[in-house]
Amino acid sequence: MRTSVKLASICVMLVLLLTLSTPAFAAKTNPVLSVTGTTVAPVAAVTATTASAPLMPGDTGTVVVTITNTLKSPGAGNTTTVTESSQNQYYLPQAQTPDMSTTRTTQTTSTDGSSGACELKFVNLLSEGPIQVQNAAYTDVGYLGLGDSAQFQFTIKVDGSAADGKYYLPLKVKTDSDGCYINQVVPVVIDSTQPKMVLNDAPAKLGTSKGNIIIDVVNYRASGITSASVVPSGDEFSFKPRAEYTVGNIGAGEMYTVTFETASKNATYTGSPSFVLKYKNGDNWHQTAPYVVAMEPKTDAAAANNGGDNSTLLILGGVLVVVVLLIGGVYLFMRSQRSKK
């Protein structure tokens, strides 16, 4: 009889466990990574405020990628509540049936919700076309918490023969979770457009006296240039400024005017002065092809003609002086004759 009672008690406990155990399920939320910013610039270091700018063929530049864990709060995960009941029975001496019993109930709650953080295992930017990534991937970076961001900087090099256009560098990010990753591209623009020099004014020919050559420097690029200066050259000419005319920074679409006082070193010359624009795109030096300001040549024959012209002027000046003196002498003579009468 007691055995039957025990078996019945065990069955009751199993039924209670099955009926009172109430698992409550909630969606488990994984971290979500997003590229919240990319900056491409032809400089060694890029700050968060630096705007993207095109690179030129041969330039070295920097790509900064900002990765953010956009999850704002961790998921509740799967929560399970288990209720356990046990019954204790007491028997009186010589009794065949239980005289009294007690029931004890316990509950246990567990959850597998995540913290919302993710571990960055691998961040890499890949080369594409004429653009080569110079540094290796970032590995085992660490954890990125809720709402946190991290920046990753890559150095890139553009081939000197690269064609203009927009190129897309693959960006790959892996984490400790197969469901949390990034696989997208970073656009990089290559633009070979150079600033230009445009002749504003210049004399047709130069003598030993100074004449002004005025040049407009126009920046046709979509971004500004820095450290710009115009360098004159020509062995047969002297310039002021002698070495270079420093301009400085020129913004996109802006113009700057420079003036050189120029003279020929000798009475004759056969060449023409030329000018070169030097400037920086980011940290990269560039210069334009020489800009030649055409001058009429002054050869020995031309110089002789100029000398003959000068002699003629001197002779005419001398004749004019003699005529003036003669007229003056006649006037004085006539005046003295009148006074005698």
178 shares its domain with 218: no
Say how far apart CA 169 and CA 130 lie, in whole Å. 11
Is 251 part of any domain?
A: yes
- pLDDT given at position 11: 52
User: Are residues 232 and 258 in contact, defined by beta-carbon separation less than 8 angstroms?
Assistant: no
User: Are residues 262 and 237 in contact, defined by beta-carbon separation less than 8 angstroms?
Assistant: yes
207 shares its domain with 281: yes
181 shares its domain with 217: no
User: Are residues 261 and 210 in contact, defined by beta-carbon separation less than 8 angstroms?
Assistant: yes
Residue 125: closest CA among 167, 97, 176: 167
| 56 burial type by CB count under 10 A (0-12 exposed, 13-18 middle, 19+ buried) | buried
- pLDDT given at position 322: 76
Q: What is the DSSP letter of 164?
A: S
- pLDDT given at position 47: 76
Q: Give the domain-ending residue among 190, 218, 233.
A: 190
- pLDDT given at position 26: 40
* Cβ count within 10 A of residue 88: 11
Q: Which domain holds residue 66?
A: 31-75+114-190
CA distances from 196 to 224, 239, 296 (A): 13, 21, 24
* Cβ count within 10 A of residue 25: 10
User: Are residues 191 and 56 in contact, defined by beta-carbon separation less than 8 angstroms?
Assistant: yes
- pLDDT given at position 19: 43
DSSP letter for each residue of 45-65: ---TTPPP--B-TT-EEEEEE
pTM for the whole structure: 0.69
- pLDDT given at position 136: 94
84 shares its domain with 3: yes
103 shares its domain with 186: no
36 shares its domain with 171: yes
DSSP letter for each residue of 228-268: EEEEEE-TTEEEESSS-EEEEEE-TT-EEEEEEEEEESSS-
Is 181 part of any domain?
A: yes
Q: Write out the two tokens for 319.
A: 């004749």
Q: Write out the two tokens for 237.
A: 């000419």
Q: Write out the two tokens for 10.
A: 């065990």
Q: What is the DSSP letter of 298?
A: B
- pLDDT given at position 268: 87
177 shares its domain with 53: yes
Q: Write out the two tokens for 125.
A: 């930017």
The model's pLDDT over 152-191, given as tens digits with 9 standing for 90+, comes to: 999 999 999 999 999 999 999 999 988 889 999 999 999 9
Q: Give the domain-ending residue among 166, 190, 214.
A: 190
User: How do strand 274-281 and strand 291-292 relate by DSSP bridges?
Assistant: antiparallel
Number of domains forming the structure of the chain? 3
- pLDDT given at position 25: 38
User: Are residues 242 and 253 in contact, defined by beta-carbon separation less than 8 angstroms?
Assistant: no
211 shares its domain with 281: yes
93 shares its domain with 119: no
Q: Give the domain-ending residue among 248, 267, 292.
A: 292
Q: Write out the two tokens for 167.
A: 């190129």
200 shares its domain with 101: no
Q: In degrees to the nearest 10, what's the CA dihedral of 246, 251, 253, 257?
A: -20
- Which segments in the chain show pLDDT lower than 70? 1-29, 48-49, 75-115, 300-314, 333, 335-341
- pLDDT given at position 9: 57
181 shares its domain with 60: yes
